Amino acid sequence: MSLAGILLGIINIAIVVAILVLIGAIAAWILSWLGYPIPANIQKIFMAIVALIALYMLAALLLGMPSIRLLHAGLLLPGGGIT
């Protein structure tokens, strides 16, 4: 794999992590606005899950494994792809 491919993969991982953290922050903001604040331990668990997703994506990038198969319509069609 070329250096450009690794760099693009790392940028992709950063984008996915930023989107997940943004979704969590928006959910926490809306719930606290409604009067149901999310406890700190639940927020830490969410951040740990995001970190595990990022670690999996990094391992997939470095080892050449497919990252998230569901995004490639792996379960939608028997052939594993969109036709």
Domain membership flag for residue 43: yes
Q: Looking at the 3D structure of the chain, how many domains does it have?
A: 1
| 33 is a domain residue | yes
Domain that holds residue 64: 3-72
Q: Smallest Cα–Cα separation from 38: which of 51, 49, 29? A: 29
Q: Is residue 81 part of a domain?
A: no
pLDDT digits (tens, 9 = 90+) for 14-42: 999 999 999 999 999 999 999 999 999 99
In a domain, 78, yes or no: no
Please give the average per-residue pLDDT across 50-71, as a whole number.
80
Q: Is residue 38 part of a domain?
A: yes
| Single-letter amino acid code for the residue at 4 | A
Span 60-70, pLDDT tens digits: 888 887 765 54
Overall pTM surpassing 0.85 (yes/no): no
